[in-house]
Amino acid sequence: MAEGIVIVGSSLAGLRSAEQLRSQGWEGAITLVGEEPYLPYNRPPLSKQALSDARTLSLESLHETVALGLKPRLGEVTWQLGRRAVSSDLANQRITLDDGQALSYTGLVIATGLRSRSLPVHGGESQRYRLRNLNDAWQLAQGLTEGCRITIAGAGFIGCELAATATRLGCTVNVIDAAPAPLVNVMGSPFADALLQYHQRHGVSFHLDTLIAEIAEDERGNLQTVALSNGTTIDTDILVEAIGSQPNTAWLDGNGIDITDGVQCQSDMSVPGHGNVIAVGDIARFNNPLFDDVCRRIEHWNIAVETARTGAVTLLSHLGDTPRTRPEDTKPIVPSFWSDQFDIKIQGIGLPSIADSTEPLDGSLHQGISDSSLFAMGYYRDGRLTGIISINGEKKQPDYRNMLLDALQTADTETT
């Protein structure tokens, strides 16, 4: 039996929501429910340096290296860790946990994020890994020994980061994707082609425009080979499924809310029909007035932080507990991301993937991607800037942000 605000999902978006509620003046009870048995931690290092480090660390020590600090402003909160929400009754403001506890709430924050998708092909189960959480990373790390042959299904961010980390550890890395280049759906083809060549120069092998058709195992069930639809067979010790994620919404079934791909909510993060419920982070599918009225889920670290900030103001306004920030004064949510692959940092801002054309803004790709030169691509829809992706452009980020906001806010004024 809880009361006050219950936050389901005790990772980045859940923790930031609790902090923002406190910053906005909420002094009532906060309960954080989390399926994982750990205090909140940061996921991005799990495909990068922390994955290398994890080979020589205990699970507990790995958690310490990635744990998110608990800020003093969080004050007193109740943690229900190692507990999963299994059902909810939004009309009666109640959720049920896997140990049978029923928690009542006055306000609810949905922050249950995503889980990894699996390939629809069987075989070699004990050498197959995913990379979404701390346990996944620790288990995978134990197999990343020098000379190990690792096949990665999926050339998205996690697949590419893992390819770089595993190559650096002396593994032989093959990456498979149905697309013609890594991250092509985010970066567009000239940029993605250059990224492909950059990885290849570092020793990663790619098999593109193809799918995993079959996974062969020996008589003891150990993984042997991965066969592709283009006829190639790859000897494999470890297979990592990095083919994307799906939202954790099963516990919200039966409430009549739209959970077709995450939780559909408004641009202020409120869930339609339930003013005392907000959705934040990777699970939230919301429209962003800076761009258009299409609802999208955005799987970036900064979205967890920014939706928590907006959502806290919305929730407290609804609960009649005047937040310190007026809803009309909340800052716009500006998506941004970074990705570390070998010696480059890719940084993006805005929504490059909605663009219909691209134009280089800084540098050129003629010599390919280098470890030190700046390159930045502008992404345009109907001639208006919607996003910028750069490599080695850390110092330019404030300029790119201003450029993007100028373009988006000008577009806004012209259409109103």
Residues that bind ligand FAD (CB under 6 A): 8-9, 11-14, 33-36, 43-44, 46-47, 84-85, 111-114, 131-132, 158, 248, 251, 281-283, 299-301, 304, 337-339
Element (H, E) at 310: helix 301-318
78 vs 322 by CB, closer to ligand FAD: 78
Q: Shortest gap between Cβ of 51 and ligand FAD (angstroms)?
A: 8
123 vs 191 by CB, closer to ligand FAD: 191
Say what the alpha-carbon torsion angle 7, 10, 11, 13 is, to the nearest 10 degrees: 10
Amino acid found at 217: E
In what side-by-side order are the strands of the sheet with 172-176?
Answer: 128-129, 238-241, 149-153, 172-176, 205-207
Dist. CA 24–CA 22, nearest whole Å: 5
Nearest CA to 203 out of 248, 240, 237, 169 is that of 169
- Its sign, for the CA torsion 191, 183, 385, 401, is negative
Q: Shortest gap between Cβ of 340 and ligand FAD (angstroms)?
A: 7
User: 114: which 2 tokens?
Assistant: 């995503």
47 vs 236 by CB, closer to ligand FAD: 47
Dist. CA 242–CA 265, nearest whole Å: 27
How far lies 377's CA from each of 28, 348, 404, in Å?
46, 9, 12
14 vs 154 by CB, closer to ligand FAD: 14
9 vs 107 by CB, closer to ligand FAD: 9
Q: Shortest gap between Cβ of 369 and ligand FAD (angstroms)?
A: 17
Q: Shortest gap between Cβ of 219 and ligand FAD (angstroms)?
A: 34
* Main-chain dihedrals φ then ψ at residue 168, nearest 5 degrees: -60, -25
Nearest CA to 79 out of 120, 30, 132 is that of 30
Q: Shortest gap between Cβ of 138 and ligand FAD (angstroms)?
A: 12
How far lies 204's CA from each of 162, 208, 224, 278, 343, in Å?
11, 12, 20, 42, 14
Q: Shortest gap between Cβ of 18 and ligand FAD (angstroms)?
A: 12
80 vs 123 by CB, closer to ligand FAD: 80
164 vs 411 by CB, closer to ligand FAD: 164
In what side-by-side order are the strands of the sheet with 295-297?
Answer: 263-265, 284-287, 295-297
Q: Shortest gap between Cβ of 373 and ligand FAD (angstroms)?
A: 21
Q: Shortest gap between Cβ of 378 and ligand FAD (angstroms)?
A: 20
20 vs 112 by CB, closer to ligand FAD: 112
